[in-house]
Amino acid sequence: MHKALVETKKASSVFGFDFQWHDPTLAIFGAEVRQGDSLEAAKDVLISTIEGIGANPPTKEEVERARAQLLKTIELTLNNSDRVGLTLELSSSARRLAFVFPASRPAPQSDAGRSDAGGRALFQARQPHARAIHPHLATGPRRDSSHPGFAGGAQDYKGDATVAAGEAFDPSPANIEARTMRSEAGGIKLALLPKKTRGGKVVAQMALRYGDEKSLMNRTMAARLAGPMLMRGTAKHSRQQIQDET
């Protein structure tokens, strides 16, 4: 969708998500179109891209990328004790995704047959003139009696090795100061606080200070656009490669 809509400038951004529910439900896709640009043109490409998934199934590389991002998100969530409870409380599908999916680590595949079926289901389901597409099945939502239930796939679940729990840390300013090591490297002032953390997590933050009142005059927009451009390509890596690495 990004390639078909954003890179061709028919839309400024795209999104898509679905719900992992017991019964057939919604998958929602959307495109944000700039004022003055054609909503109809964007709608046509949006629909043809989704319906064309049978003819243009995701490549192995794309599936692998989605899988790697999902695994990373799960790992970071599980390392973050205040997020784990909230995430798992939300739904059993979140629990299954968090535990069963990484444990089974499904191999990347590009299943053209499955994509084709998905494309057809969406095609049959859409409301032809609606701007919001409602891909209910043609007969409407119905209960799926063959559904394996919420425990489906989890019977044989064996957890990964327990993550390191971290240390009990006294968060008082005095202790933080006592444990922080300050030094300089070139023009950089360093503040390093090594401590045991859950899952071996490390957080780093870097601030670059630049310019003065005079040199920054009339450069505001250039500054605003220069920052985000850093993540959009280097001499050796494309935006996509940078996204995959981070």
Partner 1 sequence: MRLAIAEVLREASFPANEFDLLKQEELANAEQQKSEPTQIAFTEFGRRLSPYPKGDVRYISTNEETVADLNAATLDQAKQFYRDFYGSSNAQLSVIGDFDEKEVAGLASELFGNWKSPKAFVRVPSIYTDVAATNQSFPTPDKANAFLSPGSI
Minimum distance of partner 1 from residue 186's CB (angstroms): 4
Report the distance separating Cα 194 and Cα 181, nearest Å. 9
Q: Which is nearer to partner 1, 138 or 222 (CB)?
A: 222
**Is residue 181 at the binding interface for partner 1, with CB under 8 A as the rule?**
yes
Minimum distance of partner 1 from residue 17's CB (angstroms): 19
Q: Which is nearer to partner 1, 70 or 164 (CB)?
A: 164
Minimum distance of partner 1 from residue 33's CB (angstroms): 8
HSE value, Cβ hemisphere, 13 Å, CA-based, for 115: 17
Minimum distance of partner 1 from residue 85's CB (angstroms): 21
| 187-196 CB contacts, 8 Å cutoff, 24+ apart | 195/166, 195/167, 195/169, 196/164, 196/166, 196/167
Report yes or no: 151 and 100 within 8 Å, Cβ to Cβ: no
- Site residues for partner 1, 24-83, by CB under 8 A, read 32-35
Please state the φ and ψ torsions of residue 193, each to the nearest 5 degrees.
-130, 90
Helix (H, G, I), strand (E, B) or coil at 43: helix
- Give the Cα-Cα-Cα angle 210, 213, 219 (nearest 5 degrees): 70
Q: Which of 1, 6, 41, 94 binds partner 1 (CB under 8 A)?
A: 6
> Which tokens is 72 given?
């990373």
Minimum distance of partner 1 from residue 74's CB (angstroms): 19
**Is residue 185 at the binding interface for partner 1, with CB under 8 A as the rule?**
yes
**Is residue 168 at the binding interface for partner 1, with CB under 8 A as the rule?**
no
Convert residues 195-234 into a mask of x (bound to partner 1 by CB under 8 A) and - (unbound): xxx--xxxxxxxxxxxxxx-xxxxxxxxxxxx-xxxxxxx
Q: Which of 1, 12, 107, 135 binds partner 1 (CB under 8 A)?
A: 12
- Site residues for partner 1, 72-131, by CB under 8 A, read none
Residue with tokens 């006592």: 178
Minimum distance of partner 1 from residue 191's CB (angstroms): 4
> Which tokens is 37 given?
């640009």
Residue with tokens 């968060």: 171
Q: Which is nearer to partner 1, 130 or 181 (CB)?
A: 181
Radius of gyration of the chain (CA): 24
* Angle, helix 39-51 to helix 112-125, in steps of 10 degrees: 140
Per DSSP, 3 falls in state I
Binding site for partner 1 (CB under 8 A): 6-7, 9, 12-13, 32-35, 164, 181, 183, 185-197, 200-213, 215-226, 228-239, 242, 245-246
